[in-house]
Amino acid sequence: MLHKVRLIAAIVLACAIFLPLSECSQGGTHSPPVSKSISQQLFPQTNADTTYQYAYRWLSFTWFGAVTALAFTWPLVLVLFVRRCIGSRWRWFFQVLELLLCAGTIYWLYILALRGFGATWLYGAYIGVFAAGIFTCVGVVWWFVGRQHAAEEEV
């Protein structure tokens, strides 16, 4: 059960790379509001009045692009590949690494959303923070449940 929740959270975080993270007003005079289609409301595009930030726009062959890709895909890698390969010797290392990567992902979302420059977070940033938090919280619960389960098997 916990593994499925972590897998769903990892997939949601990986998909959040295509969601709008923030909007920032260009300043100056604003044009009158225009009715938008559902797709324009869900995936708004930059116009004369507002700039929208998407994480996928930062993907490139630079260190900034690599960190962006890492921030959105590390849970999927951990769920699909690492959990099966680690033994008890490496368990603590990966558990601490998960906590650090979750904190790094939330901070990176803050950077990508330009929150420090006065941008307003949109649903993509909240979904990303929520998915990373759920993934890590369920991982912490798994530490205690897994330890308790291992102790029951020894008895």
| Cα–Cα dist 104/74, whole Å | 11
Q: Is residue 117 part of a domain?
A: yes
Q: Which residues form the domain of 64?
A: 2-20+46-154
Greatest extent of the chain over all pairs of C-alpha atoms, in Å: 72
What is residue 32's predicted lDDT score, i.e. its pLDDT?
58
Q: Is residue 36 part of a domain?
A: no
**Average pLDDT of the chain to the nearest whole number:** 81
- Residue 15 confidence class, pLDDT cut points 50, 70, 90: very high
Strand partners, 24: 51
Domain count, the chain: 1
Q: Which residue would you say has higher pLDDT here, 3 or 85?
A: 3
Q: Is residue 68 part of a domain?
A: yes
Q: Is residue 61 part of a domain?
A: yes
Q: Is residue 25 part of a domain?
A: no
- Residue 37 confidence class, pLDDT cut points 50, 70, 90: confident
In this structure, the number of other CB atoms found within 10 A of the CB of residue 32 comes to 4
Work out the average pLDDT over 145-154.
Answer: 58
- Please name which of 10, 43, 13, 11 lies closest in space to residue 122, comparing C-alpha atoms: 43
What is residue 93's predicted lDDT score, i.e. its pLDDT?
81
